[in-house]
Structure 1
Amino acid sequence: MIEPHSPQSCDLLIEAGWVVPVEPHGVVLDDHAVAVRNGEILAILPRAEARARFAAAEVVERPGHVLLPGLVNAHCHNPMTLLRGVADDLPLMTWLQDHIWPIEGALIGPEFVADGIELAVAEMLRGGTTCASEDYFFPDVQAATYKRLGFRALVGLPVIQFPTAWASSQDEYFDKALEVHDNWRGDALVRTCFAPHAPYTVSDESFARIRMLADQLDLLVHLHLHETAHEADEAVKQHGMRQIARIDRLGLLNSQLIAVHMTALTEAEIALCAERGVSVVHCPESNLKLASGFCPVEKLRRAGVNLALGTDGCASNNDLDMFGEMRTAALLAKGVAQDASALDAASALRMATLGGARAIGMGETIGSIEPGKRADLVCVDLREIETQPLHHVISQLVYATGRQQVSDVWIDGRAKLRQRVLVDIDTDALKAKVARWRQRIATMPAAR
C-alpha cells in the first residue's frame, strides 16, 4: 500500500481569483495560489492543488482579487514627498533653481530625509509598490530608514559638482559614497549604486572616477540623461557633443547604466542604447508636468531596450502612484508613436515590474512571480464598480484600476499592508511629523 505524501509546510498561502506572474509575458492564471516559505516563492499552482500540497501557517483567501508582483518605482526622490505641491506649474529650470534647490538648501538633513521617506513608503505600500530606486542626499539615512520600514530599495550614492549639506567637495562625495556602500554591502533589502545627478552638474573627472569605481565594485549608475531637448542643445555648445555621446566617450553607456527620462533621442542613439544594454526609466507624468519632452518608448521597446517606470519626485509629479504611471505611459506612448497598438497593457505592466527590477539589478530576485524569487507580492481588488465588468485582467489593471484598490502587500513574505491597513507604520504619528514640516516650509519665500 502506497502511503499518501504528507503536505509540505509553508509560511503563507495566498489564494487569488487570478495570478498575473508577468513572466511568462501576458499570462493570467485563473483561481491560483502562491506558496511562500522563508520569504521565498515556493510554487504557483491551482488553488485546489495548493491546498492538497501545502500545510500553511497562514492562508489568505482573496477571491475577486488579482495577485501580481510588487511594483518597482525605478526612479524617485522620496524625501521630496515633503515638498509635494510646492512651486507647481513652472518650467523645469525655474522650478529647480529658484524654488526646489533653495528650499532643499535650507532644510536638507537626516530628519528631513527620514521623515520624507517614511511618508513615501506609506504612500507606496498603499499603492502596491514594494521597491524603489532612490536618488537623493544622505544615503546613509535613506538606507537605514528603508531597512527599518522593511522596504526594498536601491539607494543612490550622490555625486554633484557643488557643495551640499551631504558633502562639501568631490573627494568627500566619493569618500562618503564608499563608506555607505561598505556599510550596506550584502544587505538583503537595501543595495547601493552611484547616482551622479546629471551631465550638466557632473564633471568629466567625476564621471571617470565613477566609471572606475562602478567597474571595481560592480555597481550600477543611476543618471538623469537627456531630460530635455534644451539640455542636449546646451551640451553641444559646452562639450561639442550631445549628452549621450559624452557619456559614451566616458565609458558609462553600458549595461550598468540606469538612464532616466531620455527624451529627445535620435534613431542612432536609440540603437546605441539597445546595443550597449542600457536600461531606460520612463517618468511620463513628471515629464508632462514639467514639459520636459516625450520619451520615444515604443521605439525603444521595439529596439529591444529594457524599459522601466518611475514616478520621479512628489515635487514634480505630485504622487507616487505607479498604477497612474502605467496608464499614463501606455496612453502617451500611443500618442507619441501615433499607433494605438503601441505599448500594450501587458508591456506597460512589465515596465512597472520585471522591467524595473532588471533595470536596478534585481531581476533575478523580484519583478515576477516565479519559484525561487522573493515574495514581494500585491493583491488588487477587482470587484469594485470601477473595474466591472471584467473582460481582461491585465487591461483592467493598466487602464481602469486605481491604487485605492490595492488590498494587501507583502515584502519578503511579510505583510506590509493588510486589507488596506498599514502594518508597521503609525499613520497618526506620521501625519503629525508631516504637518510640522508643512508649517516650516510654508514660511519660506521660495515655497510661494
Structure 2
Amino acid sequence: MQTVDLLLAPRWLVPIEPEGVVLEDHALLADGGRIVAVLPLGEARARYAPRQTIELPQHALLPGFVNLHTHAAMSLLRGIADDLPLMDWLQNHIWPAEGAHVSSGFCEDGLRLAFAEMIRGGTTCVNDMYFFPDATARVAREAGLRASVGLIVFDFPTAWGSGADDYIHKGLALHDQLRSEPLIRTVFAPHAPYTVSDAPLLKVRQYANELGIGIHMHVHETAHEIETAIASTGKRPWARLRDLELLGPDFIAVHMTQLTDEEIDDAARHGVHIAHCPESNLKLASGFCPVDKLLRAGVNVGIGSDGAASNNDLDLLGEMRSAALLAKAVGGNPAALAAPAALKMATLAGARALGLDSEIGSLLAGKSADCIAIDLSASATQPVYNVLSQIVYAAGRDQVSDVFVAGRALLRNRQLTTIDEAAAIARAAEWQRKIRP
C-alpha cells in the first residue's frame, strides 16, 4: 500500500471538472500538499495507507473559493460610510479615512481580520488590491492562504507611495522579493482609469509583459465613470485601455457594469477576464454586470467580494448566490447561470483568471490540495435532492467546517488553526476607537 498524508472521505465530492459532476462515496487522497488521486472510497482504502483520515459523512468536498477581487485590509472600515453612491463614498468618506489612518500596521490588522472571515467562509485564494502589498504578502503567508498580491498604482500620493513611478518601483522590488514564495504571486493593480494616467499604464503593460504577470484594474464600474471619461478624453475608458494595449489574456477587469455589446465582443476577442462583484455593485447602485451575455460570448467570469467597506462582508458563498440570482434577473432567463456554472465561477474561473487553473480550482490528481468541506446536515440544507443547488442556493458560510490549502488545514472542525481570531477582533476594536472615537 502507498502511504499518503491525508485521506478525505466526504459523502459527496464535487470536482468541478467535469462541470456538474457529483461523486458519491469517493475519497480525495493528498500527499506533500498535492492531490494524488480521487477514487471510490473502497478502492482508496485498499490502495493507500493515509497518515490521517478525516471522515466527512454529511459533507460536500469541493475546491476552495477564489476571491477574484478584494481590498482585504478595508475590513477595518466595514460600515463606516453606508448607503452612498460610489464617488461620494470614496471621495468624502473612504479616501479621507484612509489618508488619516492607513499604515502598514493598519493593513496587517485589517488583513488578519479579513483572512479569518474569508477562511471561515471557504476562501482559499485571494486576489487583493490595496496599499502596503508587502503586508498582504506577509499576513497571507502567516495565515497559509494562497494570494495574488496587487502591486497598486495611483497617480497621486498615499501612505504607500509618492506617485506613479514610486508605486511601480516599489511594486517591482516586492515582486522580486516574493518570487520564491510557493503560495504568493504578484499582479499589477493600477487602481482605475480615472486615477491612473496614460504614461504609468504604458509602463505597467511593459513590465507586465517582461515579468509575465497580470494586470488587475477597476473598469467601467459606474455610468458616472463613463460620462466623466467621455467628457474629459472623448473616449470610453474601455476604448482608452484598448488603445493603450492594456487588454489581453492577462488582464482582469473588475466590475464591468457598463458594457455595450461591442465591448463584450471585444472582451472575448482579447481574452480579458472579468471579476464580477455582485453585492458591492448592488449596494453602491453601480449597475449590473451582464454576466449571461459575457458567458455566452465566451468571456471568463470569476467572482469577487470587493472590500468589506462596500459590501459589507467577504462571503463568497453569498456572492455566488447573488451572482446566480442576478444573472437570471438581468438576463430575463431563469436558466442563466445555473448552479454548476456558478460554482465554476467561484472556483475554476477565478483560478483561470489568475493563471492558476493548472494548480487550483478543481479537484484533479496533480493539482494542489486546496479544498473545503461544507456540512449539509443542517436544517437549512435538508433534504438534499441536488448537492450543487444546495451549495449555491441554500448553504451558509457557517456550514464550512474544514479548509485546506496545499493539504494544510487552515480550518478544522470550524476552528481556525493559523489565525488568532480573538486577537484580530481585539485589534479591530482598537482601530474602531481611533477612527471613530
On whether the aligned pair clears a TM of 0.5, the verdict is yes
Residue matched to 1:4 = none
Alignment of 1:142-161 (within 5 A): 142-161=136-155
Does 1:268 find its partner at 2:262? yes
Equivalent-residue separation in structure 1 for 2:375 and 2:393 (angstroms): 15
2:277 counterpart residue number: 283
Question: Residue 418 of structure 1 corresponds to which residue in structure 2?
Answer: 412
Which residue matches 2:84?
90
Specify which of 233, 241, 244 is matched with residue 238 of structure 2. Answer: 244
- Aligned counterpart, 2:179: 185
Q: Is residue 2:75 matched to residue 1:81?
A: yes
Matched letter for residue 83 of structure 2: D
Q: In structure 2, how many angstroms separate the alpha carbons of the residues matched to 1:384 and 1:175? A: 51
Q: Provide the residue aligned with 1:432 in structure 2.
A: 426
Aligned AA (2:323): A
Q: Aligned partners of 1:430 and 1:105: how far apart in 2?
A: 22
Mapping of residues 20-419 of structure 1, within 5 Å: 20-419=14-413
For residues 266-321 of structure 1, give each alpha carbon's deviation from its aligned partner in whole angstroms, at most 9, with x where no partner exists: 11100010011000010000000000000000000000100100000000000001
SS of residue paired to 2:194: helix
In structure 2, C-alpha distance between the alignment counterparts of 1:429 and 1:334, rounded to whole Å: 41
Q: Which amino acid aligns with 1:27?
A: V
Letter in 2 for 1:142: T
Kept in 1, the 8 Å contact 2:217–2:253? The answer is yes
Instruction: Tell me, in whole angstroms, the C-alpha distance in 2 between the residues paired with 1:178 and 1:356.
Output: 24
The one-character-per-residue Cα deviations of 1:317-371 (angstroms, maximum 9, x if unpaired) are: 0000101001100000110001111111111110100000111121111010011
The structural deviation recorded for 1:170 is 2.1
| Cα distance in structure 2, aligned partners of 1:138 and 1:424 | 22
Give the aligned residue type for 1:293: G
Helix, strand or coil for the counterpart of 1:143? Answer: helix
Identity of aligned residues (%): 56
Q: How far, CA to CA, are the matches of 2:291 and 2:357 in structure 1?
A: 20
Deviation at 1:87, TM superposition (A): 0.6
Amino acid at match of 1:367: G
Q: Within 2, Cα distance between the matches of 1:39 and 1:397?
A: 25
Partner Cα distance (2:136, 2:275) in 1: 21
Q: What code does the residue aligned with 2:58 have? A: G
Give 4+ residue runs of structure 1 displaced > 3 Å after superposition: none
1:240, distance to aligned residue in structure 2 (A): 1.2
- SS in structure 2 opposite 1:89? coil
Supply the AA of the counterpart residue of 2:11: G
Quote how far apart the aligned CAs of 1:169 are. 2.2
Q: CA deviation at 1:243?
A: 0.8
2: CA distance between counterparts of 1:250 and 1:76? 25
CA distance in 2, matches of 1:331, 1:345: 10
Cα offset for 1:82?
A: 0.5
Decide whether the 8 Å contact of 2:187 with 2:215 is kept in 1. Answer: yes
Structure 2 runs not aligned, ≥5 long: none
SS at match of 1:64: strand
More displaced 10-residue stretch of structure 1: 169-178 or 212-221: 169-178
Question: Which amino acid is 2:210 matched to?
Answer: Q
The one-letter amino acid of 1:144's match is: R
Opposite residue 197 of structure 1, the aligned amino acid is H
> SS in structure 1 opposite 2:210?
helix
Q: Could you tell me how far apart the structure 1 residues matched to 2:140 and 2:151 are? A: 15
User: SS where residue 199 of structure 1 aligns?
Assistant: coil
Indicate conservation of the 8 Å contact 2:142/2:418, yes or no.
Answer: no
What CA distance in whole angstroms lies between the structure 2 residues aligned with 1:164 and 1:93?
Answer: 18
**Residue identity opposite 2:215 in structure 1:** V
Aligned pair count? 437
Question: Which amino acid in 2 is paired with 1:427?
Answer: E
Task: Letter of the 1:354 partner, please give it.
Answer: L
Q: Distance in 2 between matches of 1:260 and 1:144?
A: 24
